[in-house]
Amino acid sequence: MKLDREEVLRLAALNKLGMTEEDVSVFSRQLSDILEGFEILNQVDTTGISPTAQPNSLFNVMRADIIAPSMPPSEVLANAPLRNGEFFRIHAVLE
Amino acid sequence: MTHLEQLTIHEVHKLLKSKQVSSVELTKAVIARIHAVDPKIRAFVTVTEELALQQAMQADKRIADGDCRPLTGIPAVMKDLLCTKGIRTTCSSKMLENFVSPYNATVIEKLYAEGMVLIGKANMDECAMGSSTENSAFFATHNPWDLMRIPGGSSGGAAAAVAASEGFYALGSDTGGSIRQPASYCSITGLKPTYGRVSRYGLIALASSLDQIGPMTRDVEDAAIVMNAISGYDDRDSTSVSYEVTDYTKALGKNIKGMRLGIPREYFADGIQPEVASTIKTAIVALEELGAHVDWNVSLPSSPYAPAVYYVISTAEASANLARYDGIRYGFSYQAANSMWEALEKTRQFGFGTEVKRRIMLGTYVLSAGCYDTYYLKAQKVRTLIRQEFESAFEKYDALITPTSFNLPFKLGEKTDDLMASYFYDVCTIPVNIAGIPAISIPAGFVDGLPVGLQIIAKPFAEEKLLRIAHAYEQATGWQQYQPPL
């Protein structure tokens, strides 16, 4: 599978990952190589085999909704790069 | 002569309990050792010197009150992706360079309850992506056995610290071999528990269906002691399992007569260094001499596909896990932007290293419309086959024996250019994570002064069997006693 420039830019946009032109060309080549490596999986016959999402046998783990104290706002906000009182501050979403 | 800081947990515990040494003395000895050797090794991102001395004083009070548990007062090292309240947790990434955890991981809480002294946070490959610790955004760590070589990874700082006596034990995390491979390269013991045995709450996630926390220690008894402290169900990790936790030290000191061991031939395939293969074969003969029945002709035909399965599944999960880094709530934040979207894109562009970006891109691709069936679903199906082959093998064998790595530790900088090769190094360790089963790596000798690790694999929740076999081998051979020439 060849990953062209447009496809790399589409993935970068999906990831909200800024990229230089050089990044785009390097990733286009490297990701294509890696995807080619993945083709080895086509050698395995998986007819009738069900997928494994995680290895232990747990299924739909449920718990009671127990009310407990949350972390205080001062601790939640302690690592915020920008804050305004008890809020996280971000750039304007709408102009 | 063996120095204080070079002893094992169980040796130093006896000294603490009998009050021949205090936790403060022990902690000072370790700090002095870090000052002496860490400029050469660079195992630590953060050394928590003052905090450690305070904790040591508290531990000494506790011991004076007659409460000296197996880990009380003993300095430990944590891989820098385990959240430690009030202390920096960086994941060796620029993204989290100044992140101070607001809470403790469950394993940290459990160790504090036992009286741990936290000596520092260890270097790693950024976001646990890599096998050499060269992918750290800060600096590379050096192997204590040969400073020109890598310590392995991603828990390379943790392994190097334990090998160089800069802490009595460490906790690492293992997604595709990140505890076992550096343990092998640094000649220490590293145990990856069964998926669900140890809570992942507070472990910064790489791949949630593969990650597991485990001990990195100087011998097998120490691994059992640490497992006793960290294992068990946790309602904050819904994938943790309520399977009964037994006293793992009870598995030690037993013989292995009549145990059935299988040697899967795919784990000695082309690409293995001949000296590694012959060292491991010598180790298997030693196990045979201890009374085990060895079947040299076992096959796990789907295991060679495990690295491809791993890089599909782990990158898919990582791409979702790493979506949380937005520069808004915590972590690196690009400020000179004109819009929210630009800030987000630039934050991720400048906050993540190349390997992290590559894997996020790859993971997004294999999950995207039109590719999901070809890559992700296919990998999940091959995952089922790999798991089933292990299940069948464990109907016949108590454990499987393999090398931990095909290679001796590489020289720093030797392999970073060869991307595909580096993705397929971990061919012996990856299948274990794919299947969610436990495995241990223990020292098995040296080739030209470089360590070789032996891997023992068992069925889910059979950690006791791993420890029993590993301990019998270790006591018979004594490889764990060697110290690096620092």
Average pLDDT value for residue range B460-476: 98
ipTM of the complex in this document: 0.96
Burial class (CB in 10 A: 0-12, 13-18, 19+), B286: middle
The CA-CA-CA angle for residues B395, B399, B402, to 5°, reads: 130
Could you tell me if A6 lies within 8 Å of chain B, comparing CB atoms? no
**A46 to chain B: which residues are within 8 Å by CB?**
378, 381-382, 384-385
For the question of residue B209 being annotated catalytic, the response is no
Look at residue B315 and tell me whether its pLDDT is greater than 70. Answer: yes
Nearest CA in chain A to B85: A75
Minimum-distance CB partner of B382 among A23, A44, A81: A44
Q: How far apart are CA B379 and CA B392, in angstroms?
A: 20
A50 preceded by cis ω (within 30°)?
Answer: no
Instruction: Cite the beta strand spans of B408-478 per DSSP E.
Output: 439-447, 450-457
A 32-61 near B (Cβ less than 8 A): 33-35, 37-38, 40-44, 46, 49-56, 58, 61
Number of C-beta neighbours around residue B19 at 10 A: 11
Query: What would the two tokens of residue B13 be?
Result: 């515990």
Catalytic residue among B79, B94, B192, B459: B79
B219-250 tens-digit pLDDT: 999 999 999 999 999 999 999 998 888 999 99
Catalytic, B79? Answer yes
Q: Could you tell me which chain A residue has the CA closest to the CA of B380?
A: A51
The per-residue pLDDT of chain B, averaged, comes to 96
Q: Using the beta-carbon criterion (under 8 Å), do A91 and B343 form an inter-chain contact?
A: yes
Highest mean pLDDT among A60-69, B39-48, B368-377: B39-48
Q: For residue A16, give the nearest of B344, B191, B431, B94 by alpha carbon.
A: B344
- The C-alpha atoms of residue B22 and residue A16 are separated, in whole angstroms, by 52
Separation CA A46–CA B385 (nearest Å): 8
Task: Of B476, B435, B462, give the one whose Cα is nearest residue B284.
Answer: B476
pLDDT reported for residue B244: 87
In angstroms, the CA B191 to CA B425 distance is: 19
Q: What is the pLDDT of residue A95?
A: 65
Q: Is B367 on the interface with A (CB under 8 A)?
A: no
**Residue B209: what pLDDT?**
97
Q: Which residue is associated with the tokens 């030693």?
A: B286
State residue A94's pLDDT score: 78
What number of other Cβ atoms are within 10 A of residue B187's Cβ? 28
The percent of residues above 90 in pLDDT, for chain B, comes to: 94
Chain A's closest residue to B242, CA to CA, is: A58
Two structure tokens written together for B303? 């295991």
Residue pLDDT, tens place only, B146-196? 999 999 999 999 999 999 999 999 999 999 999 999 999 999 999 999 999
B169-174 and B189-192 as β-strands: parallel, antiparallel, unpaired?
unpaired
Determine the average pLDDT of the residues in B38-42.
98
Q: Nearest Cβ partner of A51 from B339, B361, B384?
A: B384
pLDDT tens sequence across B71-115? 999 999 999 999 999 999 999 999 999 999 999 999 999 999 999
- The residue of A14, A15, A40 whose CB has the most chain B CBs within 10 angstroms, and thus the best one to mutate to test that interface, is A15
The answer to whether the Cβ–Cβ distance between B235 and A63 falls below 8 Å is: yes
Instruction: Summarize pLDDT for B113-128 with one digit per residue, the tens.
Output: 999 999 999 999 999 9
Spatial separation of the C-alpha atoms in residues B153 and B135, rounded to whole Å: 9
Nearest-Cα residue of chain A relative to residue B100: A79
